[in-house]
C-alpha cells in the first residue's frame, strides 16, 4: 500500500526539522521498506506570505484526503501585525477544527539520558511517563461569541466563550480511559468546577462515562490549579490526564517542560473513527513551537519531529514495527551521547539538526 | 487608632492557622503595641453549615466596614454536593467581587532555608522573588452567560464567558507597573492573544498603558502557555507578572509550588483607592488552600497566614514597622531549624501548628 502523507513544515524551525523527516521518508522509499506518497503544503506564516491566508482551501482539501498529516510548527514575530482572522495560528486551528481532530495526545516522557536537562530534581522526573489527553476542537478556542466591541469613551469589551456539550466530553473521556487501560489504568480529570459551569459538566460527564463503561479504571478528579501544582510537585502520581482545550494547552506545556525533553516530545491529534472505513483523520506534530529565535541556524532538535512521524507510522499507517525501529534509533543516538544544543548535559557531543537526522537514519 | 479587622477562618486548616494569628493579635492588644478590634465571621462551608449560604449579608456588611479582612481558607469534600450557587467558593468570590478587590498580589519567594523543599533544583529557585499580579474580579470567573442548559437527547451544554473591558485591564496594569518600579522594574504580561480576543485586548491595553505612563519600566509579553513553561524552566527571568483571573489562578499556584514554600506564601487582594479617604478595601489570605486531608491534626503551617496578617499591617494599617518585625520573626524561626511537617528538610525540628505560632510570637 502507498501511504499518502501531507507534509506541512510551517514556519521558524519547522522546515529544518521537517527536512530530517523527509530524509527518512526518502530513504524508506528508496530502500523499498515502505511506500510513501508525500505532498508538501504551506501553513501559517509561510502560507500568509505566499497566499495571504494561513492555509488555503486547496491545502485543506489535500489534508482531508491524506492518510496522515505531518505538521512542523507555525508563527513568529514576523506576522504579529497580521489581522486576527488571518494570523498563522488560524491555519493550525482550521486544520484541527475542520478535520474534527478532537483528541490531542501529548505524552510527557522523561528520557533517562536527559533527566539532567530538567529544571526539576532527577528523582522527581526520572522515569516519568504521563499521557495528557487534551480536548482539541471545543472550549474557549472555538466558542462564539468571540469579539472585541468598541463601547465608545475609549472603552472596548473583549469576549471569549467557553462551550462544551456532553458528547464532546464523552468522546474525549473515552479516549483517555482507553489509553489508560493500556497503561497504568489511571485517569485524572482536571477542570475548575468550583468556578466554571463547563467544569461542572466536565466533571459530571467524565464521572458518568467512567461509571457506565470503565469501572475498572481508577478515576480521580483534580481542580486544574491544584493539578498544575501537583504536576510540578510530584508528577509521577499521574498516568493519563484528561482535560479541556485551554487547560490542556497550559498543562501539557508544563508537563513537557518538566521532562527536560521538550525538543523530544511528539503529539498526535486524532479524529473519530469512521464506522465504514475504520480509519480516522490524524495529524502529528512536535510539542515544541516554531522557535523563531534559533530558526535557520541548524541548532533545532529534530527528534520530536521524527518521533511524531513515528507516531504516524504506528497510529495511522499500521506500521508499528517500523515505528519501533524509529523509536529505537532515537534512543540509540541519545545513548551514544549525541545531542542538539537544547539538551545540555555533561560529556555530550553537540551536533546540528542535519547531523542528528543523519545519526537517526544511520541507526 | 483602633484597627477594625474582620477575621474569616473558613474551613479545613483555616481555623487552625487563624488561631495563630489571633494569638499574635491578642498579645499585641495585651501589650498595647497596637489596638485591634476584631470580629470573627463564617465563610465557605462553615457558613453553609450554620446559615445555608457561603457568606451572609450580615458578614458582607462587616467586611465592607472593616479596615482589613483576614481570610483563612475554604472548601472541602464535605460540601461537594452543595448546589453550585451556594458552594463554599461562592463566599470567597462574593467577597472579591462585591468589595471590588480587583488586584490580587501573590508573591512567590523562595526562602533560602527552604530551597531544598522545592521539587526544582536549588540553583533554579534559590533567591527567587517574583510578584504575580492577578486580575481578580473579571474574566471567566464572573462573565455572563454562565449556564448549563439541557438540550434534550441526553445532551447538555455548558457555557462560561470570559469578558474584559479596557478599564479593567488598565487598572491592573497600573498596579503591576507601580509594583515593578519598587522592584526590578520589569513587567511580563501573559495572555493567549493567538487564540483569545480577550488576549488581544489585554495585550493592546497593557502596551498602551506602558507607552503612556510607564515607559521607564521594561515590558515583555509572553503567551500564557510558554510563560508557564518559562516559569518552570528558569523562573528567575521574571520580576512582576501581570495576567488575567484564570491564567493568574494557574500560574500563581505553579509559581508558589516552585518555591518549595507553599505553606509560607501570603497574598493580598486590593480594591481601588478611595479618592476621598485615601483608603482601599483589602483582604489578606494565604496562597494555600483548606487542605482538608490534614485538617484538625495540628500539622498545618501557620506561617503563610501569619505573613498575610503581616501584609495587612503593612498595606492596610500603616504599621510597616510591626510588619517588619513579623517578617523578621518568621525568618528567625526558620533559621533556628523549626519547621512544620510540610517543609521537609534535613536536620530540622518538626513542630505543630500551635508551636510554630508560639515560636513566632516568642521572636
Ligand atoms: C499555536 C497555538 C494556537 C497552539 C494552541 O494554543 O493550541 C499551541 O500552543 C499548541 O499547544 O498547539
Ligand atoms: C477557591 C477558588 C475559587 C480560588 C480561585 O479559583 O480563585 C482559589 O483557587 C484561589 O486561587 O484563590
User: E strands of A27-84, at which residues?
Assistant: 35-40, 68-73
Long-range contacts of B190-193 (CB under 8 A, 24+ apart): B190/B221, B190/B222, B190/B223, B190/B224, B190/B227, B190/B241, B190/B242, B190/B243, B190/B247, B190/B251, B191/B221, B191/B223, B191/B224, B191/B243, B191/B244, B191/B247, B192/A246, B192/A249, B192/B223, B192/B224, B192/B225, B192/B247, B193/B221, B193/B223
Other residues' Cβ atoms within 10 Å of the Cβ of residue A299: 18
Condensed to tens digits (0 to 9), the pLDDT of residues B32-42 reads 999 999 999 99
C-alpha distances in Å from residue A292, one per residue of B20, B104, B205, B284, B304 = 52, 34, 25, 42, 41
For chain A, how many structural domains are there in total? Answer: 2
Maximum C-alpha span of chain A: 68
Q: How far is CA A44 from CA A93, A291, B192, in A?
A: 10, 14, 17
Residue A117 Cα, ligand 1 centroid: separation in angstroms? 24
Residue-level pLDDT at A243: 99
Q: Is B65 in the pocket of ligand 1 (CB under 6 A)?
A: no
Residues sharing a CB contact under 8 Å with residue B317, sequence separation 6 or more, in sequence order? B3, B34, B67, B68
Give me the active site residues of A, please.
141, 192, 225, 249, 253
Question: Same domain, yes or no, for B6 and B94?
Answer: yes
| Residue A209 distance to chain B (closest CA, Å) | 13
What confidence tens digit (pLDDT) does each residue in B147-206 have? 999 999 999 999 999 999 999 999 999 999 999 999 999 999 999 999 999 999 999 999
pLDDT for A346 equals: 80
∠ CA(B172), CA(B177), CA(B183), 5° rounding? 130
Tell me the CA–centroid distance for residue B250 and ligand 2, in Å: 9
Pocket of ligand 1 contains residue B194 by CB under 6 Å:
yes
Output the pLDDT for position B262: 87
A47 class by beta-carbon count within 10 Å (0-12 exposed, 13-18 middle, 19+ buried): buried
Give B306→chain A minimum CA distance, Å: 22
If asked whether residues B244 and B314 sit together in one domain, one would say no
Identify the closest residue of chain B to A251 by CA–CA distance.
B225
Give pLDDT, residue A156.
98
A274 contacts A222 by C-beta, under 8 angstroms: no
Residue among A135, A134, A107, A71 nearest A259 (CA): A107
Residue with cell 503529539: A267
pLDDT for res B192: 98
Which residues touch B195 (CB under 8 Å, ≥6 apart)?
A89, A93, A140, A141, A246, A249
Q: Which three cell numbers stand for residue A186?
A: 489511571
Single residue among B223, B258, B293 that ends a domain in this structure: B258
Mean pLDDT of A259-282: 93
CA angle B43, B44, B50 (to 5 degrees): 70
A196 touches chain B (CB under 8 A): yes
Is the domain of B124 the same as that of B26?
A: no
Position in ligand 1 atom list of the atom nearest CA A93 = 3
State whether B279 and B353 are in the same domain.
yes
Give yes or no: residues B121 and B216 share one domain. Answer: yes
Predicted pLDDT at B111: 86
User: What Å distances lie between residue A17 and A293, A309, B258, B326, CA to CA?
Assistant: 15, 11, 32, 55
Length of chain B as a residue count: 363
For residue B191, report the distance from its CA to the centre of ligand 2, in Å. Answer: 19
- Please answer whether residues B39 and B7 qualify as being in contact, where contact means their C-beta atoms are separated by less than 8 angstroms: yes
**Selection from A239, A93, A287 nearest residue B229 by Cα:** A287
What pLDDT shows up at residue B112? 83
* Host H or E run for residue A267: strand A266-270
Distance CA B49, CA B25 (A): 27
**Residue B352 belongs to some domain of the structure:** yes
Task: Domain of residue A284: give its range.
Answer: 1-102+271-363
A345: pLDDT strictly greater than 80: no
Whether the CB of A293 is below 8 Å from some CB of chain B: the reply is: no
Which among A11, A9, A18 has a CA at the least distance from the CA of A354?
Answer: A18
What is residue B362's predicted lDDT score, i.e. its pLDDT? 96
Average pLDDT over residues B301-305: 97
Q: What is the mean pLDDT of residues A5-25?
A: 98
Would A266 be classed as within a structural domain?
no
Tell me the three state secondary structure of residue A320.
helix
* Cell numbers found for residue A358: 543523519
- In A30-138, the DSSP E strands lie at 35-40, 68-73, 103-109, 129-135
Q: Whose CA is nearest to atom 2 of ligand 1?
A: A89
C-alpha cell at B65: 466596614
Give the model's pLDDT for residue B346: 79
Ligand 2: which residue has its CA nearest to atom 3? Answer: B89
- Any A CB within 8 A of B96 CB: no
CA dihedral A101, A107, A108, A109 (to 10 degrees): -160
What's the pLDDT at A5?
A: 98
Q: Cα separation of B145 and A81, whole Å?
A: 32
Confidence of residue A134 (pLDDT cuts 50, 70, 90): very high
CA A321 to mean position of chain CA atoms: 22
- Which CATH number characterizes residue B36's domain? 3.40.718.10
Same domain, A212 and A313: no
Q: Is residue B264 part of a domain?
A: no
Work out how many CB contacts closer than 8 A connect A with B.
Answer: 178
Q: B263 lies in a domain?
A: no
Please identify, among B226, B258, B290, the residue that sits at the C-terminal boundary of a domain: B258
* Interchain CB distance below 8 Å, B140 and A165: no
Give the pLDDT of residue B344. 74
For residue B233, is pLDDT > 90? yes
> pLDDT tens digit string along B320-338?
999 999 999 999 999 899 9
Cβ atoms < 10 Å from Cβ of B12:
28
Q: Rounded CA gap, B174 and B163, in Å?
A: 19
Question: How much is the pLDDT for A182?
Answer: 96
For the Cβ of A226 lying below 6 angstroms from any atom of ligand 2, the answer is no
Instruction: Give me the long-range contacts of B142-147 (CB less than 8 A, separation at least 24).
Output: B142/B93, B142/B97, B143/A159, B146/A196, B146/A197, B147/A197
Flag whether pLDDT at A255 surpasses 80. yes
Distance (Å) from CA B15 to ligand 2 centroid = 18
Of A140, A202, A249, the CB nearest to B225: A249
Helix (H, G, I), strand (E, B) or coil at B15: helix
State residue A13's pLDDT score: 98
DSSP 8-state symbol, A113: G
In a domain, A311, yes or no: yes
Q: Is B165 annotated as a binding residue?
A: no
Whether the pLDDT of residue B345 is over 80: the answer is no
User: Is residue B1 very low, low, confident or very high in pLDDT (cuts 50, 70, 90)?
Assistant: confident
List, for residues A163-190, the tens digit of each pLDDT value: 999 999 999 999 999 999 999 999 999 9
Distance in angstroms (rounded) separating the CA atoms of residues A187 and A207: 11
Find the residue in B nearest to A86 (Cα). B194
Give me the pLDDT at residue B83, please. Answer: 94
Residue A255 lies in a domain: yes
Q: Report pLDDT for B235.
A: 98
Distance CA A194, CA B48 (A): 15
Contact: A146, B197; criterion CB under 8 Å: yes
Q: Is residue B159 part of a domain?
A: yes
Written as one string, the DSSP assignment of A209-246 is HHHHH-TTSEEEEEEHHHHHHHHHH-GGG-SEEEE-HH
Q: Is A80 a known ligand-binding residue?
A: yes
* A35-40 and A103-109 strand pairing: unpaired
Cis peptide, bond prior to residue B290, ω within 30 of zero: no
Q: What pLDDT does B359 receive?
A: 97
Strand partners, A4: A37
The number of the ligand 1 atom at minimal distance from the alpha carbon of B225 is: 9
Taking CA atoms only, the protein residue closest to ligand 1 atom 5 is A249
B289-301 average pLDDT score: 95
Using DSSP, state whether A154 is helix, strand or coil.
Answer: coil
Beta carbons within 8 Å of B291's beta carbon, 6+ residues apart: B12, B13, B73, B300
Q: Quick: pLDDT tens for B243-272.
A: 999 999 999 999 999 998 888 999 999 999
- Which alpha helices (H) appear in chain B, and where do they start and end? 14-31, 45-51, 57-65, 88-98, 122-125, 166-181, 197-213, 224-233, 245-258, 303-315, 320-335, 353-362
The C-alpha atoms of residue B248 and residue B132 are separated, in whole angstroms, by: 7
B235 and B287 in a single domain? The answer is no
Confirm whether B266 is domain-assigned: no
End residue of a domain, out of A261, A280, A304:
A261
In this structure, the answer to whether residues B228 and B317 fall within a common structural domain is no
Tell me the mean pLDDT in the region A30-52.
Answer: 97
Smallest CA separation from ligand 1 atom 3, residue: A89
A301 annotated as ligand-binding: yes
Q: Which residues share a beta bridge with A37?
A: A4
Indicate whether B323 and B219 sit together in one domain.
Answer: no
B225–A200 CB contact, under 8 Å = no
Where do we find the cell 497596637?
Answer: B34
pLDDT tens figures, B44-85: 999 999 999 999 999 999 999 999 999 999 999 999 999 999
Per-residue pLDDT at A328 exceeds 90: yes
Which among A119, A140, A200 is the nearest to B121, CB-wise? A119
Residues B278, B316 contacting (CB under 8 angstroms): no
Q: What value does the mean pLDDT take over residues A199-203? A: 98
For strands A338-339 and A282-286, give the pairing. Answer: unpaired
Distance from CA of B122 to the nearest CA of A (A): 9
If asked whether residues B293 and B234 sit together in one domain, one would say: no
- Shortest CA distance from B167: residue in chain A: A155
Residues B238, B340, single domain; the answer is no
Distance from CA of B65 to the nearest CA of A (A): 27
* pLDDT surpasses 90 at B304: yes
Query: For chain B, how big is the Rg over CA atoms in Å?
Result: 20
Residues B50, B10: one domain?
A: yes
Q: Could you tell me if B262 lies within 8 Å of chain A, comparing CB atoms?
A: yes
Backbone torsions φ then ψ of A205, nearest 5 degrees? -70, -45
CA–CA distance, B206 with B214 (Å, rounded to integer): 10
Amino acid at each position: 500500500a502507498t501511504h499518502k502523507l501531507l507534509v506541512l513544515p510551517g514556519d521558524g524551525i519547522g522546515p529544518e526539522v521537517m527536512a530530517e523527516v523527509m530524509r527518512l521518508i526518502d530513504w524508506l522509499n528508496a530502500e523499498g521498506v515502505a511506500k510513501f506518497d508525500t505532498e508538501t503544503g504551506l501553513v501559517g506564516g509561510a502560507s500568509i506570505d505566499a497566499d495571504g491566508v494561513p492555509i488555503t482551501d486547496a491545502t485543506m482539501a489535500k489534508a482531508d484526503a491524506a492518510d496522515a498529516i505531518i505538521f512542523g510548527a507555525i508563527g513568529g514575530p514576523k506576522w504579529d501585525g497580521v489581522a486576527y482572522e488571518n494570523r498563522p495560528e488560524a491555519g493550525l486551528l482550521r486544520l484541527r477544527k475542520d478535520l474534527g481532530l478532537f483528541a490531542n495526545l501529548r505524552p510527557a516522557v522523561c528520557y533517562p539520558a536527559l533527566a539532567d536537562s530538567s529544571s526539576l530534581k532527577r528523582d522527581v522526573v526520572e522515569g516519568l511517563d504521563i499521557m495528557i489527553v487534551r480536548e482539541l476542537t471545543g472550549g474557549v478556542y472555538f466558542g462564539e461569541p468571540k469579539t472585541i466591541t468598541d463601547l465608545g469613551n475609549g472603552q472596548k469589551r473583549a469576549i471569549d466563550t467557553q462551550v462544551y456539550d456532553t458528547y464532546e466530553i464523552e468522546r474525549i473521556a473515552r479516549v483517555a480511559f482507553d489509553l489508560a487501560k493500556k497503561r497504568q489504568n489511571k485517569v485524572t480529570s482536571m477542570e475548575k468546577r468550583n468556578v466554571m459551569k463547563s467544569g461542572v459538566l466536565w466533571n459530571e460527564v467524565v464521572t458518568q462515562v467512567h461509571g457506565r463503561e470503565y469501572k475498572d479504571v481508577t478515576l480521580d478528579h483534580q481542580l486544574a490549579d491544584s493539578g498544575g501544582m501537583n504536576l510540578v510537585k510530584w508528577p509521577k502520581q499521574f498516568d493519563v490526564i484528561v482535560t479541556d482545550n485551554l487547560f490542556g494547552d497550559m498543562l501539557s506545556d508544563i508537563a513537557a517542560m518538566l521532562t527536560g525533553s521538550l525538543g523530544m516530545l511528539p503529539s498526535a491529534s486524532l479524529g473519530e473513527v469512521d464506522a465504514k472505513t475504520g480509519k480516522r483523520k490524524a495529524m502529528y506534530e512536535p510539542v515544541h513551537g516554531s522557535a523563531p529565535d534559533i530558526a535557520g541556524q541548524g541548532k533545532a532538535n529534530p527528534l520530536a519531529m521524527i518521533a511524531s512521524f513515528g507516531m504516524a507510522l504506528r497510529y495511522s499507517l499500521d506500521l508499528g514495527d517500523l515505528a519501533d525501529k524509529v523509536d529505537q534509533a532515537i534512543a540509540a543516538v541519545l545513548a551514544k551521547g549525541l545531542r542538539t544544543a537544547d539538551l545540555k548535559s555533561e560529556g555530550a557531543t553537540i551536533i546540528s539538526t542535519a547531523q542528528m537526522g543523519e545519526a537517526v537514519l544511520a541507526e
